[in-house]
Amino acid sequence: MSERPGQPVTVGADPFSRRAVLALVVLGSALFVALLYMIGSGTGQGSANDGGGHAGSRGLTGYAAMADYLRGRGFAVRLVRNEGALRAPGLLVLTPGAYVDGKKLAKIVDARRGIGPTMVVTPKWLEQPALPGQSARAGWVRIVGTVAPQWRGFLDELSVSVDQQDKSERGLPRWHAQGLSGKLPDGRALMSGAGTGLVRLVSGTGGRHTLAGFMDDGGEYPELEAMALDRVLHSGEEDWRYPVIVVFEPDLIDNYGLARFENARLAEALVRASGVKPGDQVLFDLTFNGLGQSDNLLTLAFRPPFLAATLCFLLAALVLGWRALLRFGPPLRGGRVIAFGKRALIANAAGLVRRSGRLHLMSRPYADAARERLVRALALPRHLAPEQADAAIDSALHARDRAAEPFSAVAARLRAARNSHDLVHAARELAALERKLTR
């Protein structure tokens, strides 16, 4: 079977049905979205429920209960695993270990003074994994001792003390705040703080211990001042700052303490007093607890300056998908643009000249070519000048037809033609003279 120029030819039948292709596309897209979710959420990088003192832990010393409680109360709770997210707005809750770098901690807290409030919770308990055979769940721990934080370089003007309680004392230590009171879950030790610029928010029994407070650093913090148990001596010169809250007694708000409803109310009261309200972010840091991770490809792709490239990529993918859907069917192979043969070659050359708009430039070469053909046909000397050749051709034509128009006149009219009508008319007359002389 011959192939026509420009006619598309079917290569073969489509190996897949429309439904099969649609299923492949939907399944592939679902897997790709799942991959993006795993990269962004950190799924597959191990559970944070390791029994440590952080918001990913469900052990006694963890803060998962506080995170879940605040989330249920309408706050936008996030567990932060990279240091870049520590600069996000909202309340940042830091739960560092006892031996972290105090200068690094101070650097992060100072950087947030113009971003959002910060709550620092000191550690108290030394814990170990629960013994096997005690029906313990994942992440559960047992307490084996106490430890005070060693944060040189961070709030050195404050001192932290751990008071070991007498086992003979009856009852559990109590705490008091503005309009709230309750009991600590364990009476073996009580951690408190003291120092210059510390304003008491939560006190121990008898008001002798400061279990939680904030720094009176010159800023104005109306919500905290309303909850304060001490007189605030701020100067009001730096009211643009966000507050720093220090919780010295972690059992006030950790999983151990939030087993009591009044402690949960205290945790929410401290969060609201920092200046955030339901709907705002509450960030629980995990980087100081050894669970940090660097920015992944997904988080970088949706941040400037890479966001522009990501949007271009998604737009290009959408266009490609739309084009693929429109051309669904067996693939086609285009036929030859220029077919074989002299006629097709001449027709394409003529079409190229016509499209270029330079048809009048063909008149002089065509007249010269006609003269050369007649010189050969009449066996005239090849060394003749153009004028001499035209005169010889005119003589030969006059000898055959005295009424015929001279060759030189027709050739001159052809060379002078500027539009297609005159050019074609003169070319036909010249072709008729050629046939008359060569017959």
Query: What SS3 state is found at 2?
Result: coil
Whether the CA torsion 126, 162, 258, 214 is positive or negative: it is negative
Query: What SS3 state is found at 247?
Result: strand
* Residue 64 to residue 258: CA distance in whole angstroms: 10
Q: Domains along the chain?
A: 1-45+295-337 (no CATH), 46-292 (3.40.50), 342-438 (no CATH)
Q: What is the DSSP secondary-structure string of 275-321?
A: T--TTSEEEEE-GGGTT-----HHHHHTSTTHHHHHHHHHHHHHHHH
Amino acid at 179: G
Residue 394 is predicted with a pLDDT of 87
Element (H, E) at 67: helix 64-72
Residue with tokens 């008359």: 436
* Residue 69 to residue 433: CA distance in whole angstroms: 106
Which residues have a Cβ under 8 Å from the Cβ of 262 and sit 6 or more positions away? 180, 181, 182, 183
Q: What are phi and psi of 221, to 5 degrees?
A: -130, 85
Residue 168 is predicted with a pLDDT of 43
* Residue 255 to residue 246: CA distance in whole angstroms: 18
Q: Going residue by residue through the chain (439 aa), what tens digit of pLDDT does each one get? A: 444 555 554 445 556 676 777 788 778 878 887 777 676 655 555 667 777 888 888 888 899 999 999 999 999 999 988 787 888 899 999 999 999 999 999 999 999 998 999 999 999 998 888 777 666 677 788 888 888 899 999 999 999 988 876 544 457 889 999 999 999 998 888 999 999 889 999 998 777 889 999 998 888 888 999 999 988 776 555 567 899 999 999 999 999 999 999 999 999 999 999 999 999 999 999 988 877 666 666 767 766 777 788 889 888 887 887 777 666 555 566 666 655 677 777 777 777 777 777 777 778 888 888 889 888 888 888 888 888 888 988 888 888 888 888 888 888 888 888 888 888 888 898 888 888 888 7
Residue 169 is predicted with a pLDDT of 47
β-pairing, 118-121 vs 91-94, is parallel
Residue 154 is predicted with a pLDDT of 93
Contact 199, 247 (CB under 8 A): no
- Cα 262 from chain centre: 42
Can you give the pTM of this predicted structure?
Answer: 0.61
